[in-house]
Chain A
Amino acid sequence: MKTMTMMEAIKEAMSKKMREDPNVLVFGEDVGAFGGCFGVTAGMFDEFGEERVRDTPISEGAIVGCAVGAAATGLRPIAELMFMDFLTVGMDQLVNQAAKMRYMFGGKIKLPMVVRLPLGAGISAAAQHSQSLEAWITHAPGLKVVYPSTARDAYGLLLKSIEDDNPVMFLEHKLLYGFEDELDENMDPIELGVADIKREGDDITIVATGKMVHEALAAAKTLSDEGIEAEVFDPRTLFPFDKEALFKSLEKTNMALIVTEENKRGSFAGEIAAMIVEDGFDYLDAPVKRVCAMDTPIPFSPVLEKYYLPDADDIVTAVKGMF
C-alpha cells in the first residue's frame, strides 16, 4: 500500500497503462514539459518523451477531434482539456462525432479514448473555469462518464477507462487533486458502473458525486451526533449508473437526497431523482430532495462563490428538513 494524492494516482494510472501499451499516448494543452496546468502530467514528459506526452496548441476542437481520429485508427489516446469548461469549444467533436460515430457507422468502428476533464469550483476561478457540466455529457448516448471522489477510485477507474473501447469522459475535481488515499498500485481496475458506499447508514441515502461525496461524509458525521445515520452513496460512474446498488440502499433507508455541484436546473442530479421516482418510488417514505449549486453563473468573489456552492451545512439542513 502506498499513500498517494488523487493527482499522483491519475498520473500513475496513465503511466502504468503507457508502460504496458505503446498505443496509449497523452496530449493536451501544456501537458508536456510544463506538466499540465494542475501538474497532473508532471514528470511524464521525461519518462515517455514528446511523442507520447504531446503539447497541443490551444485548440480544443482539434484536441478532441484528433483523439477521435487517432482512436478510430488504432491508438488509445488520453486527451486532457485544461478545464472542463473548455469542452464547449470542442463540443461538436465530442457530441456529434465521438459519441455517435460507432452507432452511425453500424458498430463498425470503436473509439477507445479518454478525455480528462478537470472541473469544479472553489478556487475563485469564476464562471468560465469552474463549471460542473456532467449533465451535458451524460445526455449524449455513446459516452461513458466517470467521476471519482478518492485517489484510489481515480486510480482504479482510470485504469479501466483507458482499457475501455468507448469514449470515456473522466471527471477530476480540482479540489480533490490533493486528496490523499492509500492504494495498492497492483490493484485490479475498478469496473465502470459499480457504485461504492462510502459510509453505511440506515436512515437516509445521500447520493453524492465528486467533491460532494466529502461534503456528504462531513454532513453524515454531524447528523450522526444528532441520531440520524446517513448512507453516503458514491455512484463513481454517472454512465453506466449502478441503479441496482442505489435501489438496494433505498430499500434499506427509504429516503433519498441527491447532492451534486451542478447548477440545479437541468442537472444530472435531476436525472438521478427521476430514476428513483420512476423505478424506485415504492421504496420511498418521503419525497426525493436535491442539494445542488445555485442557478447562477459561478461568481468570482470568494464570499459569493462560497454562497453559491453546496456544502456540508446545506446537506445537514436539507436532511433535517426531510425528517
Chain B
Amino acid sequence: MELTKGKIVDMYRTMKLIRDFEANASRLFAEGKIPGFVHLYIGEEAIATGVCAGLNDDDYITSTHRGHGHIIAKGGDIKYMMAELYGKATGYCKGKGGSMHIADANKGILGANGIVGAGHNIAVGAGLSAKYRGTDQVCVCFFGDGSTNQGTFHEAMNLASIWKLPVIFVCENNLYGISMHQSKHQAIQDVADRAVAYNVPGVIVDGNDVFAVYEAATEAVVRARAGQGPTLIECKTYRHQGHFEGDPAIYKSSDEVSEWMAKDPIPRMVSYLLDSDILTEKEIEGIDEEISKELEEAIKFAEESPLPSLESIVEDIYTDIVEEVR
C-alpha cells in the first residue's frame, strides 16, 4: 500500500488531534464545564483515522455514542464540536444534541447516536440512497462489539448483503459492551465470524495499527464502489477509559490494561514516524504544539460562545412547524 509522506503525517495529525481532544474533554468534564455523558475514544484513534483516510468528503458515516473520533477523522470542525459539548448555541447542533448527537451533513456525517446499534440500518439507508442515485458514494457504519448483539446489526448486514449496498461495517471491538467483557457477552471470539452468515467478507485487523486499518478499509471501499456489496471489518482494539467519564472501570484487570497500554496506537505511530525517518522528534513536537493551539482556540470559542436562547427550544423539530413557546 503506497502512502505518501504527506498522507502519513496527516494520519498522525488526526490520531493525535483525536487523542488530545478527548483528553481535554475528559478534563473539562471533570471540571464540570461539560454537562451530561461523555464517552471517550482514547485508544481507538487508529480506526477512525485509518478508515476515514480512504473516504471522500461526500462519503457517509454513521457513528456511535463514542463518536468524537469518527467526527474528527471525517473532517468535523473541533470548534463546533467543543461548543456542542458545552451546550452552546454555536455548537454543531445548537446545543440540542450534545456529545452523543453530533452530525455534519456537509461532511457526510449522519450523526453520532445514543442508541447502541441504531446506526446500522441508517447506514444501510444511506447505502441504498447512494446506489439508487447512481453515485459512487459509500457509507461506513462504525459500531462497537456490544452492538453486534442487537437485532439491528443482523437486519442491516442482511439487507446490505442482499441488495449489495456500498456499506462498510466497521466493528470497533474494544473488548467491552459497557462493563461486560466480550468473552461474556458473546460466545465467539471474532465478530468477523458473523459475516459468513450474510455471505459477506469478514476481515480481522489490528485496530491499533492505522495502516492495517487503512488497507482493509480501502479494499472494502473499492469493493463497495464497484458494486460488490458490503464488508465487515473487525478492528481489535481497547477502550482505555471507562465506558463513560466517571466510570472507574473496576471490571478491568490490571494485566489486561497493561497489555493493551503497550499497544497504544499513538506511541506506536510516533515510533513508526521516527524509525522510518518520516518525521523528526522536533517536527512531531511542532505538530503537537499546533494541535494544542487549535484545541485551545476551540475551547476558547466554546467558552465564549453564547448559550442557546430559551426560544430556540421549539425550533428545528420540523422544517415547517414551530411549536408554541411555553
Given contacts A103-B317, A104-B101, A104-B111, contact A73 B125 (CB under 8 A): yes
A142 CB → nearest B CB, Å: 5
The answer to whether the Cβ of A66 comes within 8 Å of any Cβ in the partner chain is yes
Question: Which residues on B sit within 8 Å (CB–CB) of A71?
Answer: 125
Question: Could you say which residues of chain B place their CB within 8 Å of the CB of A240?
Answer: 321
Q: Which residues of A contact B118 (CB under 8 A)?
A: 65, 92-93, 96-97
Q: How many residues of chain B get a CB closer than 8 Å to chain A's CBs? A: 48
Q: In chain B between 286 and 326, which residues have their CB closer than 8 angstroms to a CB of chain A?
A: 315-321, 323
Do residues B155 and A25 form an inter-chain contact, with CB atoms below 8 A?
no
Any chain B CB within 8 A of the CB of A166? yes
Cβ contact within 8 Å between B317 and A102: yes
Nearest Cβ on chain A to B137's Cβ, whole angstroms: 8
Q: Are B97 and A69 in contact (CB under 8 A)?
A: no
B263 to chain A, nearest CB (A): 34
**Contacts A97-B115, A108-B103 given; does A62 touch B121 at CB 8 Å:** yes
Q: Total number of A-B contacts with CB less than 8 angstroms?
A: 147
Q: Could you tell me if A107 and B121 are in contact, using CB atoms closer than 8 angstroms?
A: no
Contact of A103 among B96, B151, B159 (CB under 8 A): B96
Contacts A62-B155, A102-B319; is A69 near B126 (CB within 8 Å)? yes
Q: Are B125 and A72 in contact (CB under 8 A)?
A: yes
Q: Is the CB of B126 within 8 A of A70?
A: yes
Known: A66-B159, A103-B316. A73 touches B129 (CB 8 A): yes
Given A69-B128, A70-B129, also A110-B319 (CB < 8 A): yes
Query: Do the beta carbons of B97 and A72 come within 8 Å of each other?
Result: no
Complex formed: what's the CA distance from A309 to B60 in Å? Answer: 48
A51 is an interface residue with CB less than 8 A from chain B: yes
Whether A166 and B318, one on each chain, are in contact in the complex, defined by CB atoms closer than 8 angstroms, is yes
Q: What separation, in Å, do the CA atoms of A108 and B166 have in the docked complex?
A: 24
B70 to chain A, nearest CB (A): 15
A180 to B159 alpha-carbon distance, docked (Å): 37
Q: Within 8 Å of chain B (Cβ to Cβ): is A137?
A: no
Instruction: Please state if A69 and B125 are interface contacts (CB–CB under 8 Å).
Output: yes
Compute how far the CA of A141 lies from the CA of B321 in the bound complex, rounded to whole angstroms. Answer: 11
Interface centre among B130, B133, B318, B321 (most CB of A within 10 A): B318
Q: Is the CB of A65 within 8 A of B321?
A: no
- Which residues in A have some Cβ–Cβ distance to B below 8 Å? 23, 25, 51, 56-57, 59, 61-62, 64-75, 77, 92-93, 96-97, 101-110, 141-142, 144, 165-166, 240
* 14 further contact pairs, Cβ within 8 A, besides A69-B139, A104-B97: A61-B152, A65-B120, A65-B156, A66-B128, A69-B123, A70-B128, A70-B129, A70-B132, A71-B125, A75-B128, A105-B96, A108-B92, A165-B320, A166-B320
Residues of chain B at the chain A interface (Cβ within 8 Å): 60, 62, 91-97, 101, 103-105, 110-111, 113-115, 118, 120-130, 132-133, 139, 151-152, 155-156, 158-159, 162, 315-321, 323
